[in-house]
């Protein structure tokens, strides 16, 4: 079992290929040829790149070992979390799990009027017409909004293509329902074809290994909360203050 809990991002302490790649490799080695690997997923999503890298590693190792992959959703597999779930051959969820959210978001904050009221002058020098695109201390430009919307649209198309590839004929609703960014409970996810059936980790482990089976768990190494607290606070402040239009799942 590979435990994939938390936000998906490139930074330390989150789910990313640097933290999860070796776990994926180790889990498939332990499962062996024709074995079963369970993905224990509880993630609200995050980075499109890291979501794709982790999922691609899972599919690559599954192809090499001919192992079966089952994703079990606990609380949430939304956005990038659902991208990870689609790396499995079968998706299992609790009736009240949150699933889906097949969309992309981006945005930030604009401080140009605030600094004007404070009498602060913005002095910015660039080489390249769009090097300061989406600068939070400059007025928003229509062409920048169009640029970001196009970028988000391209990422959305990739997300939709991934879900169609992995779920195929199991999808039971049209694009206007499945891919508008909405999220649903697990029971509704089954009706839409986003989830195969209802269940939990314990039942899946027993199905695979028998009544007395216990999973061998591979999880990212995490520092203690006290050691992580200063970094978490700093990152939270930066996330709130920075005007970033970096698209996210």
Each domain of the chain, given as residue ranges in start order, spans: 2-241
What CATH architecture is 2-241?
Alpha-Beta Complex (3.90)
- Which pLDDT score is estimated for 246? 67
Report d(CA 167, CA 183) in Å as an integer: 17
Can you give the pLDDT at residue 237?
A: 54
Tally of CB atoms within 10 A around 40: 21
The mean pLDDT value for 158-172 works out to 96
pLDDT at 25: 97
Confidence of residue 107 (pLDDT cuts 50, 70, 90): confident
pLDDT of 230 strictly over 90: no
- pTM of the model as a whole: 0.88
Residue 49: predicted pLDDT: 96
In the predicted model, is pLDDT for residue 241 greater than 50? no
Residue 160 has pLDDT above 80, yes or no: yes
Residue 123 has pLDDT above 80, yes or no: yes
């Amino acid at each position: 079992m590979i435990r994939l809990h938390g936000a998906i991002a490139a930074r330390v302490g989150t789910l990313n290929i640097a933290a999860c790649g070796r776990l994926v490799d180790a889990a498939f080695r332990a499962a062996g040829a024709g074995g079963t690997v369970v993905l224990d997923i509880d993630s609200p999503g995050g980075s499109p790149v890291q979501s794709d890298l982790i999922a691609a590693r899972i599919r690559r190792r599954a192809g090499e070992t001919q192992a079966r992959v089952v994703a079990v959703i606990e609380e949430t597999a939304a956005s990038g979390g659902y991208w990870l779930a689609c790396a499995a051959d079968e998706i299992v969820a609790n009736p009240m799990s949150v699933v889906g959210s097949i969309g992309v978001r981006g945005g930030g904050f604009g401080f140009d009027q605030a600094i004007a009221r404070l009498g602060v002058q913005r002095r910015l020098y660039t080489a390249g017409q769009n090097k300061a695109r989406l600068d939070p201390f400059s007025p928003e430009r229509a062409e920048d909004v169009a640029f970001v919307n196009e970028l988000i649209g391209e990422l959305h198309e990739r997300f939709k293509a991934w879900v169609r590839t992995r779920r195929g004929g199991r999808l039971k609703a049209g694009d206007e329902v499945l891919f508008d960014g909405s999220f649903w409970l697990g029971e509704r996810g089954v009706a839409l074809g986003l989830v195969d059936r209802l269940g939990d980790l314990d039942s899946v482990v027993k199905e695979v290994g028998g009544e007395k089976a216990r999973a061998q768990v591979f999880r990212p190494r995490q520092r203690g909360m006290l050691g992580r607290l200063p970094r978490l606070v700093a990152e939270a402040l930066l996330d709130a203050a920075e005007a970033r239009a970096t698209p996210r799942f």
